[in-house]
Amino acid sequence: MAPKYYWKGYLKLSLVTCPVAMAPATSESEKVRFHTLNRETGNRVVSQYVDSVTGKPVKDENEAKGYARGENDYVILTDDDLDRVALDTVKTIDIQKFAPAESIEWVYLEKPHYLMPDNAVGNEAFAVIRDAMKADKVVGISKLVIGRREKAVVLEPRDEGIVLWSLRFGDEVRPEEAYFEDIEEEADPDLVPLVQKLIKQKTKRWSPDMVSDPIQESLLALIEEKKKALRPKKSVKGKKDVAAPESNVVNIMDALRKSVADELKHRRAG
């Protein structure tokens, strides 16, 4: 998975500015992807834009973003236009404030990104900002336009780089009081030590195994099997002869059901 930078701009602390590149920490690229197919021909189904008045297909180069100014009346905006929105936060992460590390409530953390210098010119300036935050045990607070919204972002030094979190807006986080108001403040003092004893017995180090996806694993295994089964056939008869889909479906369902059942059983036993 090569990192895909989806934003390039500048990181700024007071008079220090360096070019940076940012990539999301999460990616869908390794997920088993389903495609839409035409049941009758077995071909891929693709989406196409057609003009709502003339009904004719629209060429890619004629697709544009329109801001509705009235009914059926749009101002067309190019990506270049959008880059010119009069906010410095389109291109520059200017760190305005520093808050104690861990002081941002987790419930506000929306999406993690990895921030790094975009070229060698910025290496040292980037390292200065990162190391000073590390030394002071603080995170940086700034704002950045991401996906047509200006979001609060938190910058946290990690390893050689910086993790940049976009934060949720205040009105996106539901007030906890409504949910927690009826819960007791204090636990039974006799119970807590018992719970802590259990915690001690069951404490483990974090491992990515804890977030495996048994269903995806089964799907991948099945795809692998089908590939093997298809290969010799293909060389003789060519593409058309796809193995009977009906029987495949049944097998896949059974396999998936079994994989989940096994997972539940195994985990419970262990």
Partner 1 sequence: MASGQRAQWKGFLKFGEVSCGVALYTAASTSDRITFNTINKATGNRVNRVFVDGETEELVPKEQQTKGFEIENGQYIVIDPEEVASAIPESNKTLEIEAFIPCTDVEDVYFDKPYYLTPDKMGGDAFVALRDGMRKSKVAAIARTVLFRRMRTVLIRPHGKGLIATTLNYDYEVRSSKKAFEEMPKLKIEGEMLDLAKHIIGTKKGDFDPATFDDRYEAALADLVKAKMEGRSLPKPKKVEVSKPNDLLAALRESAGLMKTAESKPKRTAANANSGTGRQRAASGAAGKAASLTAAPQRKAG
Binding to partner 1, residues 88-117 (CB under 8 A): 88, 90-92, 95-99, 103-110, 112, 114, 116-117
Q: Quick check: 21 binds partner 1 (CB under 8 A)?
A: no
- Residue 30 as a binder of partner 1 (CB under 8 A): the answer is yes
Rounded CA-CA distance 171/83 in Å is 27
Taking CB under 8 A as the rule, does residue 237 contact partner 1?
no
Q: Write out the binding residues for partner 1, residues 200-219 only, by CB under 8 A.
A: 200, 202-206, 208-216, 219
Min separation Cβ 236 and partner 1, Å:
15
Nearer to partner 1, 62 or 236 (CB): 62
Is residue 32 part of the contact set for partner 1 (CB under 8 A)?
yes
Answer yes or no whether residue 75 interacts with partner 1 by CB under 8 A: yes
Burial 206-226 (b: 16+ CB within 10 A, else e): eeeeeeeebeeebbeebeeee
Roughly how many angstroms between the first and final C-alpha of the chain, as a whole number? Answer: 33
Local structure of residue 57 (DSSP, 8 states):
B
Q: What is the rounded CA–CA span in Å between residue 245 and residue 247?
A: 6
Buried b (16+ CB within 10 A) or exposed e, 158-191: eeebbbbbbbbeeeeeeeeeeeeeeeeeeeeeee
Q: Give the C-alpha separation, 224 to 240, whole Å.
A: 19
Residue closer to partner 1, measured from CB, 6 or 51: 51
| Shortest reach from residue 136's CB to partner 1, in Å | 5
Among 52, 232, 236, 269, interactor with partner 1 by CB under 8 A = 52
Q: Which of residues 125-164 bind partner 1 (CB under 8 A)?
A: 125, 127-129, 131-133, 135-136, 138, 141, 143, 145, 147-152, 158-161, 163
